[in-house]
Amino acid sequence: MNAPDKIARTLKLPTATGKLENFSLSAPRDFPARPSRAFTRIAYSAAHVVANPLAANNPWLDCNIDWEASMRYRRYLWELGLGVAEAMDTAQRGMGMDWPTSLELIKRSIAESKHVKGAFLASGAGTDHLAVEDAKSVDDVIRAYEEQVEAIEAAGGKIILMASRALVKVAKGPDDYHKVYDRILSQVKEPVVIHWLGEMFDPALAGYWGNADHMKAMDTAVEAINRNAAKVDGVKVSLLDKDKEIAMRRRLVKGVRMYTGDDFNYAELIAGDSEGHSDALLGIFDAIAPAASAALDALAAGDRKKFDAILEPTVPLSRHIFQAPTRFYKTGVVFMAYLNGLQDHFVMVGGQQSTRSLPHLAELFRLADAAGLLRDPDLACARMKSVLAVHGVAA
């Protein structure tokens, strides 16, 4: 009985040098469908959207979402005990998904969350409906933020205040950042999460907070956050540098959380040290959701060894998915959902499935197998073979 399974789960995968090698899948890890206790960390998964592959559109220009499949995916995350960070860069915000579609997504997710016990979410408010070239002043940026914040709050949503490309263009220095954040934070109905997205995720955000030096920029960010602490739930830092995140975490006033956005070092940052820990708001939690849930459950039970044993094998996979150019990481996230049968196709908004090479996807497949994250090896193998065939490889 075992021999046919082994043959069915063996295929030829390309290497980085362009050669083909045989690869046999391992047995997946048995992660629970639901956690057994409340987590001791707040954990948001930045969720991707499922594109509609049957839409008669211009794939590079139009944004057509499969709403039912996208909501089904969010229910899957909630049932694992994870929150949903909605309409963030993982959902291709600013890379194919526009503001009107983002707002529709936010409204649908808020409505969907009401049907799932314990579900929680927060949604991205930015300035992306304001074309960067049309931004002439800081006041333009403030008005753009106000419009999105008002729309999300009117729908009953909690705010994640996203970084603004337009603000980078018009700001003349740190004082302009203070003006914008002071104004917006003075108006929000409830504490928000501030997102500092680094230029490795979005090159247009280089020099955010008024300085290209991250440590000097941090001075401005910390001042803006701490003096508005009553309106700030936490800050998500996405710089892929654990030392910078820890340094900033230790400078935040009591009550302001650090949400790690470090998809390279999340395991140790969440576990923390004697001086504190980070909560989580991560794109990689979309791709490794069952492992993330099981690890957080173990941590809540006081079992650090089990937490490490579950989460550490996922780190090489995450570092691969988020390798430079980091902004293309969404392709790996969606590919994982496709391999695991969580959506029926490998098509993305804006045709973004083409942003990673076949050798990159093949290595992702190997690393996902090593982490025990291919939950149905037969299905994953069949789907990988389909992708290989499209690329002219007989697996």
CATH of the domain at 114: 3.20.20.70
CA-nearest of 280, 274, 235, 229 to 254 is 229
Q: Is 219 contained in some domain?
A: yes
Predicted local confidence at residue 26, as pLDDT = 94
Structure tokens at 50: 């499922």
Whole-number Å distance between alpha carbons of 5 and 365: 18
Query: Phi then psi for 90, rounded to 5 degrees?
Result: -60, -30
CA distances (Å), origin 361, targets 355, 384, 387: 10, 9, 9
Q: Is 119 contained in some domain?
A: yes
Q: Is 113 contained in some domain?
A: yes
Q: Is 149 contained in some domain?
A: yes
Q: Is 7 contained in some domain?
A: no
Angle, CA 49 vertex, CA 348 and CA 310 arms, to 5°: 105
- How many domains is the chain built from? 1
pTM over 0.85: yes
At 329, the amino acid letter reads: Y
Residues facing 123 on adjacent strands: 86, 159
Predicted local confidence at residue 304, as pLDDT = 97
CA-nearest of 332, 330, 325, 389 to 361 is 332
The secondary structure of 242-296 as a DSSP string is HHHHHHHHTTSPTTPEEEE--TTTHHHHHH-BTTB--EEEESHHHHTHHHHHHHH
Structural domain containing residue 289: 42-350
Task: Render each residue's pLDDT in the chain as its tens digit; 395 residues.
Answer: 344 444 468 999 999 898 999 999 999 999 999 999 999 999 999 999 999 999 999 988 889 999 999 999 999 999 999 999 999 999 999 999 999 999 999 999 999 999 999 999 999 999 999 999 999 999 999 999 999 999 999 999 999 999 999 999 999 999 999 999 999 999 999 999 999 999 999 999 999 999 999 999 999 999 999 999 999 999 999 999 999 999 999 999 999 999 999 999 999 999 999 999 999 999 999 999 999 999 999 999 999 999 999 999 999 999 999 999 999 999 999 999 999 999 999 999 999 999 999 999 999 999 999 999 999 999 999 999 999 999 999 87
Predicted local confidence at residue 8, as pLDDT = 64
Q: Is 128 contained in some domain?
A: yes
Q: Is 395 contained in some domain?
A: no
Q: Is 252 contained in some domain?
A: yes
CB atoms within 10 A of CB 26: 12
Predicted local confidence at residue 1, as pLDDT = 36
